Amino acid sequence: MSERLLLSVRNLHVYYGAIHALKGINFDIKQGEIVSLIGSNGAGKTTTLRAISGLTEASGEILLAGESITKIATHRRVLHGIAQSPEGRGIFPNLTVLENMLMGAYSRHDKEITKDLDQCYQLFPRLKEREKQIAGTLSGGEQQMLAISRALMCRPKLLLLDEPSLGLAPKIVSQIFEIIKQLNQNGMTILLVEQNANQALKISDRAYVLETGKISLEGRGSELLSNDDVRRCYLGV
Ligand SMILES: Nc1ncnc2c1ncn2[C@@H]1O[C@H](COP(=O)(O)OP(=O)(O)O)[C@@H](O)[C@H]1O
Ligand SMILES: [Mg+2]
Q: Is the CB of 204 under 6 A from ligand 1?
A: no
Same domain, 113 and 76: no
Same domain, 4 and 60: yes
Predicted TM-score (pTM) of the model is 0.96
- Which atom of ligand 1 lies nearest, measured to the CA of 48? 17
Average pLDDT, the chain: 95
Q: Is the CB of 186 under 6 A from ligand 1?
A: no
Q: Which ligand has the minimum distance to the alpha carbon of residue 44?
A: 1
Same domain, 113 and 29: no
Same domain, 35 and 74: yes
Same domain, 145 and 109: yes
Q: Is it the case that residue 138 has pLDDT exceeding 90?
A: yes
Same domain, 8 and 44: yes
Determine the structural domain holding residue 47 and report its residue range. 1-81+156-167+174-237
Centroid of ligand 1 to alpha carbon of 124 (angstroms): 31
pLDDT band at 143 (very low <50, low <70, confident <90, very high): very high
Same domain, 48 and 109: no
Output the residue whose Cα is nearest ligand 1's atom 7.
16
Q: What is the CATH number of the domain that holds 193?
A: 3.40.50.300
The number of folded domains in the chain is 2
3-state secondary structure the chain: CCCCEEEEEEEEEEEECCEEEEEEEEEEEECCCEEEEECCCCCCHHHHHHHHHCCCCCEEEEEECCEECCCCCHHHHHHHCEEEECCCCCCCCCCEHHHHHHHHCCCCCCCCHHHHHHHHHHHCHHHHHCCCCEHHHCCHHHHHHHHHHHHHCCCCCEEEEECCCCCCCHHHHHHHHHHHHHHHHCCCEEEEEECCHHHHHHHCCEEEEEECCEEEEEEEHHHHHCCHHHHHHHCCC
Centroid of ligand 1 to alpha carbon of 44 (angstroms): 6
Query: How much is the pLDDT for 107?
Result: 84
- Which atom of ligand 1 lies nearest, measured to the CA of 41? 23
Same domain, 119 and 70: no
Same domain, 101 and 163: no
Centroid of ligand 2 to alpha carbon of 118 (angstroms): 31
Least reliable range by pLDDT among 149-153, 156-160, 233-237: 233-237
